[in-house]
Amino acid sequence: MTHSGEHGASFLTGPVRPADVVTPDDLGAEERMLVRSLVDFAEREVAPAMDRLVARDPETTRSLFKKGAELGIFMAEVPEEMGGLDLSVLAITAMCSPPVEFGPMSQLLYGHQGIGMLPIVNFGTPEQLERYLGPCMEGDMLSAFALTEPGSGSDAMNIQARAELDDAGTHYVLNGSKQWITNAGWADLFVLFAKVDGELFTAFLVERNTPGLTVDEPEHLLGHDGSSVNALSLEDVRVPVENVLGEVGRGHKVAFCTLNMGRLKLAASSAAGARMALQVAARYAAERVQFGVPIATFGLIKRKLADMAARAYAADSVSYRTAGLVYHALEALDDGGPVTPEQRLKALAEFSAECALAKVYASEAYNHSADEAVQVFGGYGFSEEYPPAKMYRDSRISRIYEGTNEISRLYAQRTVFRKLAGRHDEAGPARRGTDTLEQPHTPKELPDSKSPSGDGAITALKRLYLDLADETATRLGAEGLKDPDNQQFMASLADIAMEVFAAESVALRVAKLEGGGDQADAEIRQALATLVLNLALERIRGEARAVLSELHQGEDLLLRLREMDALLPAPEAVVGIRNRVSDWVVERAGRLPGGID
Q: Cα-Cα-Cα-Cα dihedral of 553, 558, 560, 565, to 10°?
A: 150
Of residues 402, 499, 504, 543, which has the active-site annotation? Answer: 402
Q: Where are the alpha helices (DSSP H) in 190-293?
A: 251-287
C-alpha dihedral, 255 to 258 to 264 to 266, nearest 10°: -80
| Residue 131 CA neighbour count, 13 Å, CB half | 14
Query: How is 517-581 classified by DSSP, letter by letter?
Result: S-HHHHHHHHHHHHHHHHHHHHHHHHHHHHHHHHH--HHHHHHHHHHHHHHSPPPP--HHHHHHH
Q: State the Cα–Cα distance between residues 568 and 546, nearest whole angstrom.
A: 16
Phi, then psi, of 34 in degrees rounded to 5: -60, -45
CA distance 262 to 75: 17
Rounded distance, CA 239 to CA 211, Å? 10
Backbone dihedral angles phi then psi of residue 442, each to the nearest 5 degrees: -80, 160
Give the count of beta carbons closer than 10 Å to the beta carbon of residue 33.
Answer: 12
Q: What angle do CA 458, 461, 465 make, to 5 degrees?
A: 140
Q: Report whether 277 contacts 391 (CB < 8 A).
A: yes
Helices 387-396 and 251-287 meet at what angle, rounded to 10?
160
138 is catalytic: no
- Strand 171-182 versus strand 213-215 pairing type: unpaired
Distance separating alpha carbons of residues 237 and 206, to the nearest angstrom: 9
Rounded to 5 degrees, what angle do the CA atoms 307, 98, 52 make?
Answer: 115
- Helix, strand or coil, per DSSP, at residue 174: strand
Beta strands in 131-217 (DSSP E): 143-146, 162-165, 171-182, 189-196, 200-207, 213-215
Per-residue b or e along 403-438, where b marks 16 or more CB atoms closer than 10 Å to that residue's CB: bebbbbbbbbbebbbebbeebeeeeeebeebbeebe
Catalytic residue list? 402
